[in-house]
Amino acid sequence: MFKRIDHVEIIPRDVEATIDFYTRVLNFTVRERKTVDAAPLQEVVYLELNDATVELLSVKDPAPRQTDAWPVGYRMIALEVADMDEAIAHLKTKGVELTWGPVDMGDFTRAEIKDPDGLPIELYEQHLN
């Protein structure tokens, strides 16, 4: 019945800065951009990385994000990386610093970064035995 998660939806403060971050830093590509006449929604942008999609909703005057460290709700998206050290080195060349980790969790290594709005993104490297 249920097949997979189709996409993750994000409402950024600045859609252009978020597109730049996901494409320039994380190697997503813009699949589609379309204007929407459904105020306060102005535009929908689909970003892709292999078989993963992030949908950006450009909204007029979005409400600020709450800053509670562990609120109820979705916490972050996770990107699998082939090599954590290589991913971290790439991020540093783009001016992106880790906000947590990397930490060896046994079967995997985990680290975190933040997007331009401070939304957390997990970096995940599976250890192959």
* DSSP class per residue in 14-71: SHHHHHHIIIIIT--EEEEEEEEEETTEEEEEEEEETTEEEEEEEESSPPPPP--SS-
Closest CA to 110 of 118, 99, 119: 99
Q: Are residues 60 and 14 in contact, defined by beta-carbon separation less than 8 angstroms?
A: no
Q: Are strands 120-126 and 77-80 parallel, antiparallel or unpaired?
A: parallel
**How many CA atoms lie within 13 Å of 70's alpha carbon, on the beta-carbon side?**
0
Q: Which domain holds residue 114?
A: 75-129
Q: Are residues 85 and 92 in contact, defined by beta-carbon separation less than 8 angstroms?
A: no
Q: Which of 34, 61, 88 is the last residue of a domain?
A: 61
Q: Which of 61, 83, 111 is the last residue of a domain?
A: 61
Same domain, 49 and 6: yes
pLDDT digits (tens, 9 = 90+) for 83-100: 999 999 999 999 999 999
Same domain, 82 and 37: no
Same domain, 14 and 39: yes
pLDDT digits (tens, 9 = 90+) for 47-83: 999 999 999 999 999 888 777 677 767 788 999 999 9
pLDDT of residue 66: 76
Same domain, 124 and 86: yes
Same domain, 14 and 49: yes
Does residue 11 sit within a domain? Answer: yes
pLDDT of residue 123: 96
pLDDT of residue 6: 87
